[in-house]
Amino acid sequence: MRTPLFVLIWLVIGGVLFAVSVALGNDYVFFAGYVVLQYVVLGTAWNILGGYCGYVNFGSAAFFALGAYSTVAIYKFYPLPIPLLLPISAVVSGVVGFGMGYLTLRLRGAFFAIATLALAVVLETLVVNWDYVGGSRGAYIIRPEEIEPIGNYIRYLFLIMLLLAIGAITVARLIERSRLGYGFATIRDDELAAEASGVPTLRLKLIATTISGALMGMAGAPFPYYIGYLQPSSTFGLDYAVNSIAMPLIGGTTSWVGPLIGALLLGSMQQIATVTISSAVNLLIVGCVLVAFVIVAPNGIIGLFHTYLQRKPDDFVGRRRLDADLPGSVP
């Protein structure tokens, strides 16, 4: 499927989803849907570095917070429309992602993961002591009640995050099917062999950290308008770091579909639990589901689906299997 057709299909799906949400007549659908779509963007962004390249990043909350506090800093100076804030947040977070990659990507495994976690701690300390954006006191963002012709402002935020989620999915799909994606796969499978074969691994990893950081920053840009009152604990929270990792792992990290499935599944479960029980059980739900998938489907839902297809009869799979023991068969 060509990319323009892919984008058109998702725009149609998004339009139908928005129309159905409006028809329900309950604005809480938009509040909950915004959070789920936000996690779609974060999970997809994390997967570009963590899934495609195999570098586990625990600093997702840092890039998300960079996008949110970029909005606050600009709001204090001169309020801009959210569509203009998105590229600014992308540039800020992308530059930080590039810098983080340049300093830490020579590390591997657990050492890289710890370095990204340290980045989040350092940035949170800086924000807490930066009075211009509110520091530890936090900052208020006054948003209009309505915006024409959409109506309630939360519907406007939902629509922006919906378009951003479609954009993030499209970027991930383009990377997966390009030479860049093949380069990422060689790093994930065997980085030393890739380097020996002439693959510019450091350059590719820097590209991955930049793109991943930029998308996470864009996910955080509308957040101050969504929450109304922004403080460090609300952006550097453990929820964003854990969910952005768990959702791709549950859905599957080798395809752009995995983070989408994981975010829709876990995000919906968390929103239901928030309404029926309490938001305090959200991380408990993530932990239980993640443990279950590690045991039952370590490769995620996508891996489980591929395994199921391989075990189906040949006439359902749509391919003919040859017995290697038969004369003249292809091994």
pLDDT at 187 over 50: yes
Q: Is 210 helix (H, G, I), strand (E, B) or coil?
A: helix
Cα separation, 61 vs 217, whole angstroms:
9
The predicted pLDDT at position 312 comes to 55
Cα separation, 242 vs 294, whole angstroms:
15
Over residues 31-39, mean pLDDT: 92
Q: What is 158-205 written as a DSSP string? A: HHHHHHHHHHHHHHHHHHHTSHHHHHHHHHHHHHHHHHHTT--HHHHH
pLDDT at 328 over 70: no
Find all residues with CB under 8 Å of 127, minimum gap 6, and list them: 65, 69, 133, 135, 232, 236
Task: Judge whether 89 and 41 are in contact, CB under 8 Å.
Answer: no
Q: Is residue 2 left, alpha or beta, with left meaning phi > 0 and alpha meaning psi from -120 to 50?
A: beta
Over residues 110-127, mean pLDDT: 87
3-state helix, strand, coil in the chain (%, to 5): 75, 0, 20
The predicted pLDDT at position 311 comes to 65
Most confident of 31-35, 131-135, 149-153: 31-35
Q: What is 49-72 written as a DSSP string? A: HHTTS------HHHHHHHHHHHHH
* Residue 326 pLDDT class (50, 70, 90 cuts): very low
Task: Judge whether 186 and 54 are in contact, CB under 8 Å.
Answer: no
* Residue 314 pLDDT class (50, 70, 90 cuts): very low
Cα of first residue to Cα of last residue in the chain, in angstroms, is 31
In the CATH scheme, what is the code of domain 3-313?
Answer: 1.10.3470
Looking at the whole model, is its pTM more than 0.85? yes
Find all residues with CB under 8 Å of 115, minimum gap 6, and list them: 100, 103, 104, 107
Helix (H) or strand (E) holding 147: strand 146-147
- Among 76-85, 227-236, 301-310, which is the least confidently predicted range? 301-310
Task: Write down the mean pLDDT value for the chain.
Answer: 85
Over residues 97-108, mean pLDDT: 85
The predicted pLDDT at position 149 comes to 79
Helix (H) or strand (E) holding 152: strand 151-152
Over residues 276-292, mean pLDDT: 81
| Nearest of 216, 217, 220, 212 to residue 172 by alpha carbon | 212
Task: Judge whether 147 and 153 are in contact, CB under 8 Å.
Answer: yes
Find residue 229's DSSP bridge partners. 140
The predicted pLDDT at position 305 comes to 79
**Tokens matching residue 25:** 């007549």
* Residue 92 pLDDT class (50, 70, 90 cuts): very high
* Residue 293 pLDDT class (50, 70, 90 cuts): confident
* Residue 209 pLDDT class (50, 70, 90 cuts): very high
Over residues 116-145, mean pLDDT: 86
In angstroms, the Cα distances linking 237 to 34, 63, 65, 187, 218 are 18, 12, 9, 30, 17
Cα separation, 251 vs 264, whole angstroms:
9
Q: What is the pLDDT of residues 246-259, one digit of tens each?
A: 889 888 888 889 89
Cα separation, 302 vs 306, whole angstroms:
6
pLDDT at 134 over 60: yes
pLDDT at 321 over 70: no
Q: Is 229 helix (H, G, I), strand (E, B) or coil?
A: strand
Find residue 99's DSSP bridge partners. none
- Among 43-57, 100-114, 309-323, which is the least confidently predicted range? 309-323
* Residue 158 pLDDT class (50, 70, 90 cuts): very high
| Nearest of 230, 285, 323, 243 to residue 50 by alpha carbon | 243
Cα separation, 51 vs 86, whole angstroms:
24
